[in-house]
Amino acid sequence: MDLFSQMETFVRVVETGSLSKAARSKSLSLPAVSRQLRALEQDLGLALIIRSTRRLRLTEAGQRWYENCQRILADLERSRAELNPSKTPRGLLTVSVPITFGLVHVIPRINALLARYRDLSINVRLEDHLVDLVSEAVDVVVRGGVELPDSTSLIPRPLLRFRRLVVAAPNYLRQHGVPHDPDALAGHSCLVQLGAIGPIQEWQFTRGEETRTVRVDGRLRATGPVALLDSAVAGLGVALLPEWLVSRELAARKLKRVLVDWTTPQTTIWALYRSEARSAGRIKAFIEAMSAERAG
């Protein structure tokens, strides 16, 4: 049995805290992972993991072996990349992306990525909650507007920088008038996004050195920006939505941008991955495909 495969499996077991999660992340059966772990312990002549009904616990030898495996596997990955930097991305990549951004920006580009690299497989998890790269066996986490972790174990890469635009349907503006000043939004029916701690009713605008914060309200609130987009197109109110979400509707004149002299705070969407995977071809290919420059 390949020692490197055993080492990779052992590292994934430790990082996920579960044989079954490690098996899923490596597309192996649970018995196969158990056999690899048992064979590794027999080869070393040491117990690496103490199993209980609730959790797995590393022995002292297991902790040392885990640290050595991390270093050896990272060195191996770097050596492979240095010898063959153009190596075709292959293997399974698991990514966690926000639902709306995933559907609008990520999935269309993943289709092209898979068509280009026939040996690459991708698990796409559409979810808005934060995930742990290690315990949930995720290779890349994509999130926007988050505070970056102060850790050398994670590498952030910017995928897209954008601002939100104030938009409304032409028929809504004909009926209710065009707001020419942020304060005028208080007299309009606004489509409000529901955040993790409640409705986001304060919209901030900047023009030159002037900053204005306006409190808005309306009859519709929703957690998903796509729902607000559909309602804006239907003429139900004024919405504050990401540029990347409304670009097609603006081009098709289904929506019209208002308050064009005012800008909103810039948001960055980041891709986060573990430092030991910095040379992985599948991660490099994913980030290149998702970046704004590649997206065009």
Q: Which amino acid is at 258?
A: V
Q: Which architecture does CATH list for 3-83?
A: Orthogonal Bundle (1.10)
| CA pair distance 182, 205, nearest whole angstrom | 7
Say if residues 240 and 264 touch (Cβ distance below 8 Å).
yes
pLDDT at residue 180 in the model:
93
Top-level class of domain 164-265: alpha beta
| CA pair distance 191, 220, nearest whole angstrom | 6
Percent of the chain with pLDDT over 90: 35
Percent of the chain with pLDDT over 70: 88
pLDDT at residue 135 in the model:
61
- pLDDT higher at 52 or 119: 119
State which of 63-72, 91-100, 257-266, 277-286 shows the largest mean pLDDT: 257-266
Say if residues 203 and 214 touch (Cβ distance below 8 Å).
yes
Let me know if the fold of 91-155+271-295 is the same as that of 164-265.
yes
- pLDDT higher at 163 or 139: 163
pLDDT at 295 over 50: no
Strands 154-162 and 120-126, sheet pairing: unpaired
Q: How confident is the model at residue 278 (pLDDT cuts 50, 70, 90)?
A: low
pLDDT at residue 240 in the model:
97
Strands 91-97 and 120-126, sheet pairing: parallel
| CA pair distance 161, 79, nearest whole angstrom | 33
Token reading at 168 = 């409304």
- Total H helices, total E strands in the chain: 11, 15
Instruction: Give the model confidence (pLDDT) of 238-249 as tens digits.
Output: 999 999 999 999
Choice among 25-39, 117-131, 140-154 with the minimum mean pLDDT: 140-154
| CA pair distance 195, 159, nearest whole angstrom | 22
- pLDDT higher at 153 or 200: 200
Average of per-residue pLDDT values in the chain: 85
Q: How confident is the model at residue 231 (pLDDT cuts 50, 70, 90)?
A: very high
pLDDT at residue 294 in the model:
41
- Identify the three-state secondary structure at position 77: helix
pLDDT at 184 over 90: yes
Say if residues 123 and 241 touch (Cβ distance below 8 Å).
no
Average pLDDT, integer, range 63-73: 84
For the chain, which residues make up each domain, given as ranges?
Answer: 3-83, 91-155+271-295, 164-265
pLDDT at 38 over 60: yes
Token reading at 253 = 């004149």
Top-level class of domain 91-155+271-295: alpha beta
pLDDT at residue 233 in the model:
97
